[in-house]
Amino acid sequence: MKILYIFIFVFSFYLDARDFKVASYNVENLFDLKLDGTEYKEYKPNTKTWNKQSFLKKIDNIAQVINDLNADIIGLQEVESKEALNTLLKKTPQYKYHTFIKKQTSSIGVALLSIYPIKNIQKIDVDKYDNYGRYILKGTLAIENKNLIVYVNHWRSKKAPESKRIIYAMRLKKEIDSLDQNEDYIILGDLNSNYNEYQTFKYDKNLNDTFGITGINQILNTTENENFIQLRDMITSKKKIHYNLWLELNDEK
């Protein structure tokens, strides 16, 4: 039996007295029905495993989840094309503003959907020599005359060691460090990392090729001296640190 892991994360954000909801959703291999040559073998179009019926069923299921989430801003991972995204948008018309990016040699890309205007879009190339790598999407949204930057990520899977994910983290950190101190931003997406990755990967020789350093914890500063950054730290710290929303969940979850 194949077990499918769908990653969804939702949180509310506060910006100058305006509440809105942000979500991240790995839709898992939303391929279209056009043969491009970069598809995964089980998603080659018009075959027994992937055809119009299965495609439209997947669109319906994803749209149902997105509509139930009712987020104002949502980042999607594992979308193959604009065509696939446009089909999904027919079922989610509330997202008037949207964008999609994908590296030409990659099988899948990332998208950003928003009820707020997207003023600017930038694709951040993490590793131009990695044909299977993925861009980081940087979208600047206008929310009541205030800018919010959203970074949509999809880091390398754990088929690769941590050094491959650290490349993403370092590129993202470089980008964030270039922002003005008063610019608001959110990092979201599928980082293929546990919130406590530095603990869980420590004794896995296939993953830990970085002497215990992880992209999510040490590079993006979600921990300090092996303690998780807390909300109070975000207010008092003079450097750019990051609070991980997984800490909002109860321990058993």
Q: What confidence category does residue 13 fall into, taking pLDDT thresholds of 50, 70 and 90?
A: low
* Contact present, 165 and 215 (Cβ < 8 Å): yes
Token pair listed for 16: 């100058």
Strands 18-30 and 73-79: parallel
Please report, as a single letter, which amino acid is at residue 4.
L
CB proximity list for 19: less than 8 A, separation 6 or greater? 12, 13
> Per residue in 151-194, pLDDT tens?
999 999 999 999 999 999 999 999 999 999 889 999 999 999 99
User: Which pLDDT tens digit goes with each residue over 50-81?
Assistant: 999 999 999 999 999 999 999 999 999 999 99
Which band of pLDDT confidence, cut at 50, 70 and 90, is reported for residue 4? very low
Report pTM.
0.93
